[in-house]
């Protein structure tokens, strides 16, 4: 059994290699062009604009945006993902750059028309000051009028749908999930376990991440300098209400 400490789980290459087929199943990959369509419609991003994909992974959105004529820079701390994204961009001749760097340190003043942090890739730094610094780095990297889109599972949605335990089968694995609310609804403890369907070694990881309500996320963006923050319940621009699917925040500089 593998069990990593909470502070360093996201720094372990084995985690991203093992969990990739579970996080990015074929259905999710097929949804990428539609998600990009909706991001462009919601934000006004267009061909020729410069865009920062913060925590870009292996570039599933960044590459699709580059195919639409957007000049993309993807940043991620996982070297294997960055190398894969670079190779894909080179093979397709796309105007896309990929940087192997932590979002806590990456900053390119005034370079981008827009930026995003997608698919609950936000809330994993150890303290609030680090989280705020990462947002300030994005703010500083935007041109005046630029936007920053964050996509997470809002605290309200988590409370509405909360389950202590869940399990499912995917890509030849049984996946078992356990959750616990801690620190007065400021953090979520996660315990993820998966085992091959035909039997084999159980892999386990435990970690905690910060959870945000709509008001808390808007407040964070405001503290970091964003003058206007729009909140939505989906990429379609629907209201963030009892029918919301996600918490989508769009801060504008």
The reply to whether 166 and 244 lie within a common domain is no
The answer to whether residue 178 sits within a structural domain is yes
The answer to whether residue 6 sits within a structural domain is no
The reply to whether 140 and 217 lie within a common domain is yes
The reply to whether 89 and 112 lie within a common domain is yes
Distance from C-alpha of 110 to C-alpha of 144, rounded to nearest angstrom: 8
The reply to whether 137 and 202 lie within a common domain is no
Domain count, the chain: 2
The reply to whether 122 and 55 lie within a common domain is yes
The reply to whether 136 and 240 lie within a common domain is yes
Tens digit of each residue's pLDDT (9 = 90 or more) over 92-121 = 999 999 999 999 999 999 999 999 999 989
Choosing from 174, 189, 208, the residue where a domain stops is: 208
Angle at 223 between CA 222 and CA 228, to 5 degrees: 15
The answer to whether residue 186 sits within a structural domain is yes
The answer to whether residue 9 sits within a structural domain is no
The reply to whether 140 and 114 lie within a common domain is yes
The reply to whether 170 and 221 lie within a common domain is no
Polymer length in residues for the chain: 253
The reply to whether 42 and 165 lie within a common domain is no
Q: Catalogue the long-range contacts made by 2-8 (C-beta closer than 8 Å, 24 or more residues apart).
A: 2/203, 2/204, 2/205, 3/204, 3/205, 3/206, 4/205, 4/206, 4/207, 6/206, 6/207, 6/208, 7/126
The answer to whether residue 7 sits within a structural domain is no
Contacts of 171 (CB under 8 A, 6+ apart): 21, 22, 25
CATH number at residue 116: 3.40.50.150
Query: What's the pLDDT score for residue 238?
Result: 98
Mean pLDDT of all residues in 166-187: 92
Could you tell me the pTM of the whole model? 0.91
Choosing from 172, 189, 208, the residue where a domain stops is: 208
Q: Give the whole-number percent of the chain exceeding pLDDT 70.
A: 90
Q: pLDDT band at 13, cuts 50/70/90?
A: low
The mean-pLDDT minimum among 8-17, 194-203, 237-246 falls in 8-17
The answer to whether residue 203 sits within a structural domain is yes
The mean-pLDDT minimum among 1-15, 198-212, 235-249 falls in 1-15
Is the pLDDT at 15 greater than 70? The verdict is no
- CB atoms under 10 Å from CB of 94, counted, come to 21
The answer to whether residue 44 sits within a structural domain is yes
The answer to whether residue 16 sits within a structural domain is no
The reply to whether 79 and 147 lie within a common domain is yes
Domain ranges, residue 175: 157-208
The reply to whether 119 and 59 lie within a common domain is yes
Query: What's the pLDDT score for residue 10?
Result: 57
């Amino acid at each position: 059994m593998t069990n990593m400490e909470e502070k360093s789980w996201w720094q372990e290459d084995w985690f991203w290699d093992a969990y990739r087929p579970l996080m990015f199943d074929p259905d999710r990959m097929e949804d990428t062009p539609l998600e990009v369509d909706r991001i462009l419609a919601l934000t006004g991003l267009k061909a020729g604009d410069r865009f920062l994909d913060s925590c870009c992974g292996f570039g599933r959105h960044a590459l699709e945006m580059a195919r639409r004529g957007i000049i993309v820079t993807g940043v991620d701390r996982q070297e294997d993902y960055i190398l894969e994204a670079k190779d894909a961009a080179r093979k397709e001749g796309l105007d896309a750059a990929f940087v192997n760097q932590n979002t806590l340190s990456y900053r390119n003043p005034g370079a981008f028309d827009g930026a995003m942090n997608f698919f609950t890739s936000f809330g994993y730094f150890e303290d609030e000051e680090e989280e705020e610094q990462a947002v300030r780095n994005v703010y500083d990297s935007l041109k005046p009028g630029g936007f920053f889109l964050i996509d997470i599972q809002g605290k309200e949605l988590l409370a509405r749908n909360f389950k202590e335990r869940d399990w499912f089968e995917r890509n030849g694995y049984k996946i078992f999930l356990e959750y616990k609310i801690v620190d007065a609804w400021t953090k979520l403890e996660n315990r993820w376990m998966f085992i091959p369907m035909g039997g084999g070694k159980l892999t386990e990881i435990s970690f905690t991440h910060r959870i945000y309500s709509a008001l808390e996320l808007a407040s964070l963006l405001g503290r970091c300098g964003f003058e206007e923050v729009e909140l939505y319940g989906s990429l379609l621009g629907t209201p963030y209400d009892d029918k919301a699917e996600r918490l989508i925040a769009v801060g504008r500089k």
